[in-house]
Amino acid sequence: QRRFPNEPEYIQAVSQVLETIEEEYNKHPEFERVNLIERLCIPDRIIKFRVNWVDDKGNIQTNMGYRVQHSNVIGPYKGGLRFHTSVNESILKFLAFEQTFKNSLTTLPMGGGKGGSDFSPRGKSNAEVMRFCQAFMSELWHYIGPDCDVPAGDIGVGGREVGYMFGQYKKLTHQFVGILTGKGQEFGGSLIRPEATGYGNVYFLQNMLKTRNIDLKGKTVLVSGSGNVAQYTIEKLLHLGAKPVTCSDSDGYIYDPDGINEEKLAYIMELKNIERGRIREYAEKYGVKYVPGAKPWFEKADIATPCATQNEINAEAATALINNGIIAVTKGANMPSTPEAVRIFQEAKVLYCPGKASNAGGVAVSGLEMTQNSERLKWDREEVDQKLHNIMDDIHENCVRYGTEPDGYVNYVKGANIAGFIKVAKAIMAQGIV
Ligand code: NDP
């Protein structure tokens, strides 16, 4: 806090991890002797650069570009790129820090990083997005590589943006290598990567429900967001017989009491991925409620799954969810609950997990994409989905192992943080003072 007073999101993420690992940390005096905490919390390096690009009117636009390389003790830096007007150093540092633990949890050899820009693709033409991505990669390529740092997508960076950046990297280096994950199927992308975060989120939810013998079938679910993670969370919920009733974007949310079915989901995918429209249009098409400027947490349902952005559930929303009888909260997004909201969920003993556990499926399949690229092979859909499922089961098992409290309540936040921390800490110790 003293060193980074103007970075609230980063302080929030670090504080939450440190609070939950304290007990475990104190069992290891050898960690204290090598100043492990500071070495773990401060990123290896932050790369910051200017991005100039030309808009359709011929004006020169300038944005900031960043890559936070947090830790490579267990593998090459790995983590997404976020293109959104809200992007700043604090947000990327929190995401890179979280990513290090998340990647550790996946059991795959990946370190943690995150990057992005305050550029937003929203309202931009395809040609503008392409020129921006090319300009961004013209600087970033110096600092990444298949054995050094492998970025992926995040908010505002989907298949289109990854494709443009991959093309520019190839042009600059004359090399076709697995430098980004989330690539198109035609040029090295893994099957199931687009679905992975959403599917993994629901596999994790199933595991949590199983601990209380609750079936997902027939349960109503509040979903926020309508991007990549929200769409495939909804798809998997439908496969398993649940009933998603909301989704949102940064302008507001829709509530569909009949449930978002396969046909309506196909419409959302077309609306958000192709037409790049607003979720309000869903309400107009299907004649359902649209609430501008609000989030869906005050509606009644069995389960909530935030899949948009950080700090979208505050204390008031958490209290409303509990008063409405929520059973479980599982996170597609990174750090979507404020610290007060986390406390409220845990005190009420609802099934509640941190994003680094439930949304790790995306980076896990990114790790599998890296393996396929190195092997120059492509695995089939079933094989990747099965591996994803197994990884989510392992993460859940680790959370239960490290997070079960004396009264039997599983503190998934604590469990995920300790499981992720132990592996990273041991690797730091083994590699000396570097
Ligand atoms: P997308 O850009 O595909 O979708 C983001 C969605 O969230 C959009 O509906 C967007 O609305 C909404 N949103 C973004 N910012 C805000 C905001 N400030 N307030 C309200 N709504 C907002 O991103 P993803 O689906 O990929 O990512 C969603 C979350 O999941 C993020 O927290 C990300 O870090 C996390 N995540 C993503 C992974 C992945 O594989 N993609 C992996 C692990 C975590 P609008 O259309 O108006 O912009």
DSSP of 78-102:
EEEEEE-TT--HHHHHHHHHHHHHH
Q: Whose CA is nearest to atom 30 of ligand 1?
A: 333
CA end-to-end distance (rounded Å), the chain = 24
Helix H or strand E encompassing 186: none
What's the Cα-to-Cα distance from 345 to each of 14, 145, 157, 185, 367, rounded to whole Å?
Answer: 20, 41, 31, 40, 32
| Relative orientation angle of helices 126-140 and 159-173, to the nearest 10 degrees | 50
At residue 275, the pLDDT reads 96
The reply to whether 43-176 and 194-358 are identical in fold is yes
At residue 157, the pLDDT reads 98
Ligand 1 neighbour 229 (Cβ under 6 A): yes
Contacts 24+ apart (CB under 8 A), 368-372: 368/108, 368/190, 369/178, 369/181, 369/182, 369/183, 369/188, 369/189, 369/190, 369/193, 370/78, 370/110, 370/146, 370/150, 370/178, 370/181, 372/188, 372/190
Domain residue ranges in the chain = 43-176, 194-358
At residue 214, the pLDDT reads 98
At residue 3, the pLDDT reads 87
Q: Which CATH number fits domain 194-358: 3.40.50.300, 3.90.1300.10, 3.40.50.1000, 3.40.50.720?
A: 3.40.50.720
Q: What is the phi-psi region of residue 233: left when phi exceeds 0, alpha when psi lies from -120 to 50, beta otherwise?
A: alpha
At residue 434, the pLDDT reads 84
Ligand 1 geometric centre to CA of 183 (Å): 18
Instruction: Tell me the CB-side half-sphere exposure of residue 72, using CA atoms within 13 A.
Output: 15
Contact between 303 and 219 under an 8 Å Cβ cutoff? The reply is yes
ipTM beyond cut 0.95: yes
Residue to mutate (ligand 1; options 9, 86, 155, 232; most atoms within 8 A of CB): 155
Confirm whether 114 is a catalytic residue: yes
Ligand 1 neighbour 120 (Cβ under 6 A): no
Class assignment of domain 43-176? Answer: alpha beta
At residue 1, the pLDDT reads 75
Contacts of 258 (CB under 8 A, 6+ apart): none
Question: Order of strands across the sheet with 351-352?
Answer: 243-244, 220-223, 303-305, 328-329, 351-352
At residue 37, the pLDDT reads 94
At residue 2, the pLDDT reads 82
Q: Which listed residue (27, 57, 93, 114) is catalytic?
A: 114
Nearest atom within ligand 1 for CA of residue 122: 48
3-state SS assignment for residue 305: strand
Nearest residue to 157 via CA among 187, 124, 186, 185: 124
Q: Which residues of the chain have pLDDT under 70?
A: none
Ligand 1 neighbour 249 (Cβ under 6 A): yes
Strand pairing class (77-83; 112-117): parallel
Give CA–CA dist 132/386, Å, rounded. Answer: 36
Known binding site for substrate: residues?
78, 99, 102, 153, 366
Tokens of 159: 């298949």
Nearest residue to 154 via CA among 236, 96, 76, 72: 96
Tokens of 125: 């033409």
At residue 326, the pLDDT reads 98
Q: Whose CA is nearest to atom 43 of ligand 1?
A: 359
Give CA–CA dist 434/160, Å, rounded. Answer: 38
Known binding site for NAD(+): residues?
197, 228
Give CA–CA dist 419/400, Å, rounded. Answer: 10
What number of residues does the chain have?
434
Contact between 326 and 304 under an 8 Å Cβ cutoff? The reply is yes
Contact between 149 and 78 under an 8 Å Cβ cutoff? The reply is yes
Ligand 1 geometric centre to CA of 85 (Å): 13
